[in-house]
Each structure stands twice: as structure tokens, then as C-alpha cells.
Chain A
Amino acid sequence: MDYSISLRLIAPEILLSVSGLVLLLVAAWGGQKTGRLVSILSAAALFGAGLMLFPTLHLGVVGPDTFAFGDQFRADAFAAFAKALIYLAGIGCLMVAPTYFDRLKAMKPEYPVLLLFAVLGMSIMVSASDFLTLYIGLELNSLAAYVLAAFLRNDTRSAESGLKYFVLGALASGILLYGMSLLYGFTGTTSFEGVRVALSGEMSTGMLFGLIFVLAGLAFKISAVPFHMWTPDVYEGAPTPVTTFFATAPKVAAIALTARVALDAFGTQVDAWRQVVIFAALASILVGALGAIGQQNLKRLLAYSSINNVGFILIGLAAGTVGGVGAMLVYLAIYVAMSLGSFVALLMLRDENGDALATFADISGLSAKRPALAWCLLALMFSLAGIPPLLGFFGKFVVFQAGVEADMVALAAFGIAASVIGAFYYIKFVKVMFFDDASERSVADSTTAHWVLLVVTTAIVSPLGYLVTPSLGDLTDKAASALFLLP
């Protein structure tokens, strides 16, 4: 493989890293006041990198043409789809941040730069086809994310959140590394392709341990039960724009990565990991739904909601078919829109002093004070609950369809029955906003950037979103086929 071709394949990553470094210099010399400028330039860099993905995505390029650096990195349609979602989520999180941090006088140019590096790490993660590439991407992402979580240096909750994230994230990385070293020891290679070949046939106990450890480490990153404990604490403590980011982009990256590892590296041992994934899926759905019921804090509630959603996404992975992965990607796309929308709505919920309306008691009777905001949140919540005709239903629909087609009717039936438990707390949102008497707290005006994001995401989850499902399905089918090149 020609070196220049490899470089061309990683063009988006090159663009991101160069812009990240340059903007870091700008931030270092320009000082605090460049925060907004660096944000805009970062968003532009993400947009530019996104444009570079377009041909791959549109043509659905898969196969050896997309392997860079001796198959350590794959810029195929699957990676391109995940990257597109990640970049879009990143742009969204850049848009909402300045207003939030300005109010706290904490808008620093480091925020967009760190975010850019985190996105770069994710970009490498989803393209990784070697365990070492995977680890580099993952750590680049994680290190930036730890700092982002603790971004409000004077806020103890933010610092606590960063520390928790760091300690548990490091533990997860350790588990992952341990699994990778086991796999390397037993198979003699770190490339996905080599592991795949070595794993075919009878699997030794050591290999099985390696596989389980790798999956456990990844489950940490996607916050699937039983490795979800950090999620509510980190989500609650981190500054809300950062939480928005955590709930969207890294989720996409980690899930896409898990899918690639499971179906590519472990593609010959589907039965070995499927039971793990099925357990994680059902446990996540159940814990996400039950854990959320008692929550009063809105951010914590959305954290449980994201655990719940991961469970549904994993059902698509458990199906282990092209349709299943396609469904998973469709769900991911819809999930990103829903989470982005609901966290932006949380950001907009502040009183005149800039204090967040953080609990159910604070937002009671919101529909009387801010009807537009309340109706958008209503659409987002019903969508998260998977009630038609909102687009959230379509995500669940395709995932369960994939499950049923893969002959996992019992799993699908259990999952969908458990989704009714989840509906309970989503409709509680609606009940509090629409049925209860208004609380004393006033709600301040929001900026245009927030409104734009909220209206766009609401329009996506509204029934209008169904009109884009054919083209979305087309893209995800092409992307999913990238993981099924070999029999």
C-alpha cells in the first residue's frame, strides 16, 4: 500500500490534529479572549473534516481500498458514518458551550481545543483495525474527556466528576489492556484480522478471558450495565455542555468500536460474545429504566436514560447481522439527535440569575411559562420513550426488527416490555411540565444558538424525521456491510 494513499485515507484525522495544534497555539498566545474565535474555528475544522467523509459515505466504500498503514486503520463507510455523527455532535457541543461558560466567566479557548482532540481520538477509535490503534484512539479521547469533565476548576462537583471519571476510566483502560495482552499472548497478533483468524475454531480459556476482558473494558466506555456506575455521577457533576458531549459523541465512538471489535476481531466467535452482549443489553435496559424512576435531578435522569438507550442499541449488535448493525447505526443517529436536543433543553432551563433549573420541582408547570420549550421537550421525551409517531419509535422499531429477523424473539419481547418501564419516567417529564402547577422559578431567555439546536433536533425527532428514513437506511446498510466482508 502506497504511503500517500494511506495519508489520503486519514485526511480528516490530519485536518483535525493540525487544527487542534494550531488552535492550541492561538489559545496560548491569544489568551482568554480568543475563546469564541477558537470555538468557531474548531467547529469549522470539524465541518471540514466531515465534508471529507462525504464521498466514502455516499459511495459506501468498503474493503481493502480503505485500509491504511498495512491495515491498522480503516477509513471505510462504517467508520465514516460514525465519524459523521461524532463530528455533528461535536459541532453541537461547541455551539452550546460559550453561552454557558460566559455566564460563569469560565470560557477558555482550551475547551474547543480539548474537544477537538477528544473528537480526534474518537475518529481514530472508530477506524481502528488493530488493538494498538484502538488503544491510542481511546486514550487520546479519554485524556481529553477527563480534563473536560473537570473544566470548571473552581466547582468542586465538576472536579469530583473529573476525578471519578479519571479513576474509573483508568480502571477500564487497564481491564481493556489486560484483555488485549491476553489476546496477544494467545494469538500472537494485535491486528483484528489476525485475531479473527486465530480465534476461529476451538477457543482456549485464555482467549475467552481475553475476549471477556476486552468487552468489559469497552462496556465501561459505553456505560453498559454492569459497568455503568460512573455515568450518573459524572453526568451530574460535569458542566452541562460537557455532559451533552459525553452523552453523544463518545457513546457513538465506543459503540461503533465495540461493534467493529465484536464483528471483526471476534467475528468467528459470535456465540461467545453474543451472550455477554445480550446480558449487557437487557441489564442496561432494565437498570436504566428502574434507576431513573426515583431520580429528581434532571441530568441524572438523562444519564440513566442514556444507559437505557445503550441497552436498545446493543440489541442490534446482539443480532450480529448486517441488518442488526444497520439498525444499531440508525438508532445511534436518532439517539444523538434526541440526547443533543434534551441536553440543550436542560441548558436552556435557567432562571434570571443563571442558576440551572436542575430538578423536577424547578420545572413544574413549565408549559405555562415557556410553552415552546416545553413542547419541544415533550416531543423529545416521547421520542426517547419510543412512542410513535416520533422518530425514537423508528429507532426501537428497526432494532427490534433486526432482533426478530435474527430469531431472537424472546430478547426483543423482553426488551420492548421493559421499555414500558422507561416510558414511566419520560411521561413524568411531561406530567411535571404540563399537568402540575407552575413553580416559583422564572425561566430566562435563551440564545439563538440554543434555539437553533433545539428546533433542529426537535424537527428531526418529529414525524418529519420519517421522511429521511429511506436515505438514512440506505447509508447505514452500506456502512454496516463494511463489517461483514469476510464470511
Chain B
Amino acid sequence: MGGFPILTAMLAVPLIAAIACFFVEAKPARVIALAATLANLALGVLLWANYDIGGAQWQFQEEANLFAGFQYKLGIDGIALLLIILSVFLMPICILASWESIQKRVGEFMAAFLVMETLMIGVFAAQDLFLFYIFFEAGLIPMYLIIGIWGGADRIYASYKFFLYTLLGSVLMLIAMLWMVNQAGTTDIPTLMQYDFAPGAQTWLWLAFFASFAVKMPMWPVHTWLPDAHVQAPTAGSVILAGVLLKMGGYGFIRFSLPMFPEASAQFAWLVFALSMIAVVLTSLIALVQEDMKKLIAYSSVAHMAIVTVGLFAFNVQGLEGAMMVMLGHGLVSGALFLCVGVIYDRLHTREIDRYGGLSINMPKYALFFMLFTMASIGLPGTSNFVGEFLALAGIYQVSSWVTLVCTTGIILGAAYMLYLYWRVAFGIQKNEDAAAMSDLNVREWAILAPIAAAVLWMGVYPESFLAPMRKDIAALEARVARAAPEGDAQLAAGEPRRQAANAVAAPEHHGEDEGDH
């Protein structure tokens, strides 16, 4: 890439556009926002194309001594790369999704979204602990405004809850960060990832970070802000919330909790497993009885994120890779599902499931997209989520069969609530006349849904494109946490290799008994 500061450019483009949006009318604001997000998408593609797979761990590094106490230091590894790509991919879609549905204070809305984009990229690209914190925390302000100004009827309660919940979670993390920096004498994240804190201190540090990431993730029982925030936020806000903001929690675990405190992570793995198991089953059951589409998808997000956390704390390559794939897949799929809700919400202005029905008759194209994303959410092979969930569960199986069993139940329940939702919305009789009169997708909605559908299938059919950039980083992380990895209950042992091909006709003295002792 030569000396071009591409990460700074990716931070600057939306920020400058945001400032511009403040001062213009609705129409130019939309165009500026779309242009800026598309430009950033182009930069993102450039970033991916120039990322040297198998090269240095940290690439595109930039550094400047601008501030007292911390540094302006950027750089990405494969994990951060993919999450940045996810963010810049979803942003233009969000802008398009709010093209018509946002009619009041358009300039300010677009500005808030563009600032959000800057902050999201900053979170994933920051290589300084406090710079990370600033980006991580600053996201509260635009999201608070997005929910509060452009949200639904109960938006004020939801915005307060979102703000205070996440703030309380993350201030404790700040104290832990201050302590770490005081101890290690550096704010550099790559250095801190190699620093060994005393196991006793790790316990407290881990808990402080956990308070923040568990809320952001969100994990049961601190997930309650999410359904409120999702339901009240405008469609694009929900997409960004589910698509990217929730991933910050998982990214935090990967970047901080696991490599910086491996012993404490092992020590608290039981806690993460227990909370995740409860989350998977409980929130899936809650999702089954929801009457509000957005709430249903919000609860399904909590369940999916629980798969991510168990995968992360499996301490092996499959689990970590699976967790990353679920995060990416869920980012696309839940975003797409919220967009699907948004499409019909724009027409009928209700999210109540009972008000719809038989949409496959009058909106066949819409029903097809909705079906694809429903299936992807369930984890059907060939879609993005299958790869992730399979890997995550394969990883956790090496650690605990019971956790795997419970989490797999969650996937079955997931199929139940998603299919039940799809059946109620798309199939059956057209019981409401106004719902039956809705028109099918227009060009703009095609442009929103088609790219996500393509990406979902791409991830499902050829996940190697996404696994390759992060393989080396996951391996490094696995090596880092290996010393603390808990012993699994699966007792895996390699069997005697077969002497013959698998399809060879067994000789009488063998009887095919040596199939490996799993």
C-alpha cells in the first residue's frame, strides 16, 4: 500500500461526510452519506485486497504522537480486517434502508450514522488501549441519539436503558485498563497481548472486562437492554446494533480477555458456559412466544451470541474460528432479517406478527429473500451460519459434551422459532386485507437485500475466503491460551490408522473393528 494511511482515510471519510451532512438539506445529505459509505466500502475492498494473508501479524500500522497519555496507533490483523469489512459492507445498506423511512432531521440522522461508522472502524483498528476505549465508548452518543430521536413510541426508555447499561459495563473496564497500563508500562495492545499478568490480578481484570463485554455481547442476564433497544430503534439502527455493535463484545473477548488473561479465562470458562447455556435455551424459548418481529430477532441474537461465547472459551482453533464465523454470519443474517422486517414495516407500520400472513402470495420475491435469511439464521448448510455454528460446536465438543448438547438444543429451538415466524408471516391465508395489498420489493430494496444474500451464500459455500485471513491470528491466539486450556471431557485419542482403504472389502480376520476409538 506504500505510505498511504488507508485506515486513517477510512476513519476520516465518514467523519468529514458527517460534518458536511450537518449543514445540508435532506436530499444532499442522503447522497453525501451514500457516497461516503460507498467510498469507504471501496477503501475496505482495497484493504482486503492488499491484506497480506500469512504476512506480518499486524498490517497497515500507523502511529502518531498526538495525545497525552495515549497514542494514535492503528493497525489490523485478520480478525479486525474481517470485522471492518463487515462494518463497511453494512453501512451503505443502512443508508439505503433509511432513504425513505427517515423523513425528519435527515442531515443529523446521516451524520450520526457516519460518525458511528468512524467509531466502529476505530474500535477494530485501534492498537492503543485507551484509543480503543474512546472509540468503544463514544459509540454510545450517536446510538443514544439514533434510538432517542428517530426511534419508536417507547424510545426514551429504551435509549436511557441502552446508554446507562452499557456505560456502567464499560467504566469498570476503564479502571482495569488503567491498572494494566500502570503495571505493564505500555498502552500498546500487541505488547499487552504478550504480557503475563499475575494470575491473582487476572481474576479481577478479567471480571472488569467481562462486565463490559458481557453487556455489549449481550450475555444473559445482562441482555435485557437489547430487545428494548432493537424494538425502538429505526431499522438501520437495529441493523448496525445487531450487525456490528454486538460484535464489539466478541471482539473484546478475542482481543483482550483471552490473550491478556488466559489463566483467568480458563478459570471463568465455567461461568461463561453456564450463562451461555442458559441464554441459548431461555432466550430461544422466549423468542418462540414473541408477537413482535423485531423482538423475536433480538432474542435470537442473544441465543446466537451465546454460541459465540462458548466457541471462544473452548480454547481451541475450531471454537475460535467458529465463533468468528458466527459473528460474521450473524452480522449479515440478523442485519438482513431486520431489513426484511423494515421492508414490511415501511408498508404497514406495524411489527406485530399477527397483522401479516400469506405474504408469499403477494410478495413472492420478498418471501424468497426472507426464506433465505430465515434458513441462514437456523444454520442450514450452504449458508454462512452453518459454517460458524458447526465449527463452534465442534470446538466446544472437545471440551464438554454437555455444553454441546445444550447448545445444540438451542439450534433446534432456533429452527422452531424462525420457522414459526416465517410460517406466520409468509404462509397461510391472507387474513389482513392491507397486508395482502402490499407491493413486492422495489429496486432500492433489491439493492439492499441482494448483496447480503450473495454474501451469506458466499460464506456458506466457500468459507475459506473468510477463514484464510484470520487463520494465522487464530492459531497465534490458540498458542497463547494453550497453556491454560482446560482439559476436555471428550478424551479424544487418535485410533490406529487403517491399513486398507475405507471401502475395501474387509478381510475375515478384521471385521472392520478398528474404526478409531472416538
Contacts and interface: CB of A to CB of B under 8 A. Distances in A.
Q: Which of B69, B133, B135, B159 has the most CB of A within 10 A?
A: B69
Given A382-B141, A404-B175, A416-B174, A473 B167 contact: no
A469 B178 contact: no
A420 B156 contact: no
Given A388-B137, A417-B172, A423 B167 contact: yes
B164 A420 contact: yes
Interface in A399-424: 400-401, 404-405, 409, 412-413, 416-417, 419-420, 423-424
Contacts of A473: 68-69
Contact of B69 (A401, A416, A423): A401
A473 B144 CA distance: 31
A400 B69 CA distance: 12
B174 A470 contact: no
A420 B171 contact: yes
A140 interface: no
A434 B155 CA distance: 12
B164 A424 contact: yes
B168 interface: yes
B167 A387 contact: yes
A50 interface: no
Contacts of A469: 67-69
Contact of B149 (A393, A401, A434, A466): A434
B466 interface: no
Interface in B155-196: 155-156, 159-160, 163-164, 167-168, 171-172, 174-175, 178-179, 181-182
Given A431-B160, A435-B156, A470-B68, A400 B175 contact: yes
Contacts of B174: 397, 400, 416
Contacts of A405: 182
Contacts of A431: 148, 156, 159-160
A467 B182 contact: no
Interface in A379-401: 382, 387-389, 393-394, 397-398, 400-401
A433 to B, nearest CB: 10
A398 B69 CA distance: 8
Interface in B218-271: none
A82 interface: no
A64 to B, nearest CB: 30
A388 B69 CA distance: 14
Contacts of B67: 466-467, 469-470
A409 B177 CA distance: 11
A113 B251 CA distance: 59
A397 B182 CA distance: 13
Given A404-B182, A416-B174, A389 B68 contact: no
B282 interface: no
A472 interface: yes
A412 B177 CA distance: 12
Nearest to B22: A375
B416 interface: no
Interface in B124-159: 130, 133-135, 137-138, 140-141, 144-145, 148-149, 155-156, 159
Given A401-B69, A404-B179, A434 B148 contact: yes
Interface string A246-273: 0000000000000000000000000000
A465 to B, nearest CB: 10
A416 B167 CA distance: 10
A397 B138 CA distance: 14
A435 B69 contact: no
A405 to B, nearest CB: 5
A420 B137 contact: no
A427 B163 contact: yes
A482 to B, nearest CB: 19
Interface size class of A (residues with CB under 8 A): 20 to 34
Given A435-B148, A435-B155, A467 B178 contact: no
B66 interface: yes
B144 A430 contact: yes
Contact of A387 (B66, B137, B145, B149): B137
Given A389-B138, A431-B160, A420 B179 contact: no
Nearest to A427: B163
B110 to A, nearest CB: 15
A334 to B, nearest CB: 12
Contact of A409 (B69, B155, B175): B175
Q: Which of A409, A412, A423, A435 has the most CB of B within 10 A?
A: A435
A285 to B, nearest CB: 13
Contacts of A423: 163-164, 167
A459 to B, nearest CB: 13
Contacts of A387: 137-138, 140-141, 167
A417 B69 contact: no
B148 A388 contact: no
B134 A420 contact: no
Contacts of A388: 133-134, 137-138
A452 to B, nearest CB: 20
Contacts of A413: 172, 175
A472 B68 contact: yes
Interface string B56-80: 0000000001111100000000000
A409 B182 CA distance: 11
Nearest to A398: B69
Contacts of A466: 66-67
A420 B164 CA distance: 7
B108 to A, nearest CB: 8
Contacts of A419: 171
Contacts of B155: 435
A92 B161 CA distance: 37
A163 to B, nearest CB: 39
Interface in A43-92: none
B258 to A, nearest CB: 23
Contact of B145 (A404, A434, A472): A434
B171 A435 contact: no
Contacts of B141: 382, 387
Contacts of B168: 417, 420
Given A420-B167, A435-B159, A409 B179 contact: yes
Q: Which of A382, A389, A430, A473 has the most CB of B within 10 A?
A: A389
Nearest to B179: A404
Contacts of B66: 466-467, 470
A416 B171 contact: yes
A393 B167 contact: no
A474 B68 CA distance: 9
Contacts of A417: 168, 171-172
Contacts of B65: 470
B69 A427 contact: no
B178 A412 contact: yes
A93 to B, nearest CB: 28
Contacts of A424: 160, 164
Contacts of B178: 400-401, 404, 412
Contact of A427 (B137, B144, B171): B144
17 contacts: A388-B138, A389-B134, A393-B137, A398-B69, A400-B175, A404-B178, A404-B179, A412-B175, A412-B178, A416-B174, A424-B160, A427-B144, A430-B145, A430-B148, A467-B66, A467-B67, A472-B68
Given A398-B68, A470-B65, 17 more contacts: A387-B167, A389-B135, A398-B69, A401-B181, A412-B175, A416-B174, A417-B168, A419-B171, A420-B167, A420-B168, A423-B167, A427-B160, A430-B148, A431-B156, A466-B66, A473-B68, A474-B68
Interface of B: 65-69, 130, 133-135, 137-138, 140-141, 144-145, 148-149, 155-156, 159-160, 163-164, 167-168, 171-172, 174-175, 178-179, 181-182
A-B pairs with lowest CB-CB distance, top 4: A473-B68, A388-B134, A469-B68, A404-B178
Interface of A: 382, 387-389, 393-394, 397-398, 400-401, 404-405, 409, 412-413, 416-417, 419-420, 423-424, 427, 430-431, 434-435, 466-467, 469-470, 472-474
